[in-house]
Amino acid sequence: TSFDETLHQLKYDTNELNNYIINLLERQIEGNLKDEIIYYRKIQALFPIISILFNDQTKVEIFVQIQINKEQSYEQKSSNDFNSQESIHGVHEIERLLIYVRYPPIFQHLLTFIRTWAQHVGLYGQVYGYLSGYSWAILCAYICRRYLSPIKSLSSIEHFSIEEFFSLVQQFFSTFAQFNWSSEALRLYPKSYKQITFSEKTSVYNRGSMRIISPSPPYNNAGRSTINSTRDLIIQGFQRVLQLLNKINTITCEDKSNALKQILELNNDFPNEKTKSLLQLTLSSENISELDEWIGWMKSRLAHFINDCEEECHL
């Protein structure tokens, strides 16, 4: 058929083949599924993605990944010493993190608190050289696993007090403010993980000024977008919270509740006195749909540009 002929012609061009499959999916969406979908959009990424929102508010993301050279793929897997596919979407990684935390509901509360704080003070976002939501989740999972006792009953979760939650938050900022980020890696490895030697570590593992190793294969560095300057700002953010807690009373339950509120009320102090100059870049497009399609890719390129500026130009 003409379909087979097209696939045969494109079988040596991965990008064109990916785009061809995406276009076929788009035609199906606009035709057979048109009445069942509120909207959809195509996203340019490492693998082309179509994001779909159905009438019942179900959201689906379809990505196309076609491996042509099976031998090359097998060799790559063998060199990295892992047996499962690397996940494309962070939601699956978050679900796996729940295996390592003592109390999933408390972990989720802690993660919500920490992410809210990070967003308020401007330390959130992988594309800006900071930590992604998944990286913050690993940090929270580390604290929960280290400082919470194994769950005994559901009632122990229901009776988890504000004092206990405050202690968990305090441990979070104290632990990571003192962590030696310049030379150590934070890990949540499963017991079956065979630790690789330094010479075997991939470039993805070594990339980034903060090494927060994913507990899921292939154990990449979730903090690989960080650079020295953003790492220092994140550490300063941790220290800033500790300074706040040292200044205020945290004796009674009410004191601790107020302290938690004050942490979330901290503002972004950028640019501070250390900032010597600012560079503003404007991204424009012919229409909003084109901007939606390419903005993620452009942010990724911008992150690489900033990283190169720091490493090669010593900015």
- Asked whether residue 34 carries a pLDDT value surpassing 60, the answer given is yes
For 64, the token pair is 């196309």
Per-residue pLDDT tens digits for 102-160: 778 889 899 999 999 999 999 998 877 899 889 999 999 999 999 987 766 666 667 78
Q: Which amino acid is at 258?
A: N
Bridge partners of residue 42, in order along the sequence: 50
3-state secondary structure the chain: CHHHHHHHHHCCCHHHHHHHHHHHHHHHHHHCCHHHEEEEEEECCCCCEEEEEECCCCEEEEECCCCCCHHHHHHHHHHHCCCCCCCCCHHHHHHHHCCCCCCHHHHHHHHHHHHHHHHHCCCECHHHCCECHHHHHHHHHHHHHHHCCCCCCHHHHHCCCHHHHHHHHHHHHHHHHHCCCCCCEECCCCCCCCCCCHHHCCHHHHCCCCEEECCCCCCCECCCCCCHHHHHHHHHHHHHHHHHHHHCCCCCHHHHHHHHHHHHCCCCCCCCCCCCCCCCCCCCCCCHHHHHHHHHHHHHHHHHHHHHHHHHCCC
Per-residue pLDDT tens digits for 35-50: 888 877 776 665 667 7
Predicted confidence at residue 52, as pLDDT, reads: 80
Average pLDDT over residues 58-77: 56
Whole-prediction pTM value?
0.66
- Asked whether residue 261 carries a pLDDT value surpassing 50, the answer given is yes
Report the mean per-residue pLDDT for the chain: 78
Q: Residue 208: CB partners within 8 Å, gap ≥ 6?
A: 221, 223, 224, 225, 226, 227
Q: How confident is the model at residue 98 (pLDDT cuts 50, 70, 90)?
A: confident
Bridge partners of residue 186, in order along the sequence: 212
For 231, the token pair is 């790492």
Average pLDDT over residues 2-10: 72
Return d(Cα 59, Cα 50) in angstroms, integer: 11
